[in-house]
Structure 1
Amino acid sequence: MSRVAARTLLSTGALTARSVRPASLPAFRAVLPPTSSPTSSLSLFRFKSTTTSSWAKNPVITYEELKPYTQQPTDDVLIVDVREPDEVALGSIPSAVSLPLSQLRDALDKNFGPGEFQKQFAFSKPLTSQNLIFFCRSGKRSATASEWAHEKGYNNVRNYQGSWLDWSKREKESGSDED
């Protein structure tokens, strides 16, 4: 059959593309998924880094690990006291900043702007990639703070479980306590 004849028969519906397939080619059928808009399909996937920091692998920090960060503070590590201001007034870990647990969840929200954060808490809003260490009086509120920070997208978070009680006891034992 000539191409012209085949085209004519195809256009009239008398012939289908399947019936004019050369005998030497196998028949196949491709099953494609239903199409959707690109934006709706992107939400199906979450891309995460395949490298996990040591902070994410070990969510608890000890006194021995914390002590050097208090002696030589850096911008890479932020020590956050989540106790209320009246508790902080009794003493705090050196180089720590105060962000009461009662305000932490809202403060770490992405809608809480850096300027507003700086004005309210007197330090820069932590970056989601920054290493954060939370502590409180005994470790319970700081554990909650760690969970909330994770919910807000902060992945490099550690909890000082011993918190202020452990810190003040060890500092007195070592003679480092300034009181």
Structure 2
Amino acid sequence: KWKNGEKVTYNEVKPLTQSPSDKILLIDVREPNEVALGSIPSSVNLPLSTFEKNLSMDEGDFTRVNGFHKPTKQQPMIFYCRSGVRAQTAVDLAKAAGYKWARNYEGSYTDWQKHEESNPNKDD
């Protein structure tokens, strides 16, 4: 079911936000000032500007700095940013660091907002 290497679409992300689990980690790589303007529900923030430094931390430091557990190398992860460019950089960096199950939400937050605004029943 996990299509490794393939781009992620809204239809794959939406169910993750409706029933979040630890199985798939949704990671926002935008900067905190961008995240403050809105983010995808159930996502965690790991800014691209500190991404490599964070991935090289041990578990304790990572959790203390970021507020969530450091993903394991086998953790499926979906990265997003504003439009997908930084998210693709994060995918490449994660894979280079040994994280095999990293994918990019194509269109990222821009795509998410477009779908959410066009869906009048988004709060159901």
TM-score, normalisation: structure 1: 0.66
1:74 is aligned to 21
1:64 is aligned to 11
Alignment RMSD (CA, Å):
1.3
1:124 is aligned to 69
Equivalent of 2:2, from 54, 60, 78?
54
TM-score, normalisation: structure 2: 0.94
Give 1:117-156 correspondences, 5 Å limit: 117-156=62-101
Does 1:115 find its partner at 2:60?
Answer: yes
Give 1:151-166 correspondences, 5 Å limit: 151-166=96-111
Aligned-partner Cα distance in 2 for 1:115–1:158: 25
Aligned-partner Cα distance in 2 for 1:98–1:150: 18
Task: Kindly name which structure, 1 or 2, has the bigger radius of gyration based on alpha carbons.
Answer: 1
Aligned-partner Cα distance in 1 for 2:45–2:6: 20
Aligned-partner Cα distance in 2 for 1:73–1:125: 17
Give 1:73-92 correspondences, 5 Å limit: 73-92=20-39
Gaps (5+ residues) in structure 2? none
Runs (4+) of structure 1 moved beyond 3 Å?
A: none
Alignment check: 8 A CA contact 1:59 1:157 kept: no
Name the aligned partner's letter for residue 126 of structure 1.
P
Does 1:174 find its partner at 2:122?
Answer: no
Alignment check: 8 A CA contact 1:55 1:156 kept: no
Aligned-partner Cα distance in 1 for 2:19–2:13: 11
Does 1:95 find its partner at 2:17?
Answer: no
Say which structure, 1 or 2, has more relative contact order (CA 8 Å, 6+ apart). 2
- Deviation of the 1:79 alpha carbon: 0.2
Alignment check: 8 A CA contact 1:92 1:164 kept: yes
Gaps (5+ residues) in structure 1? 1-52
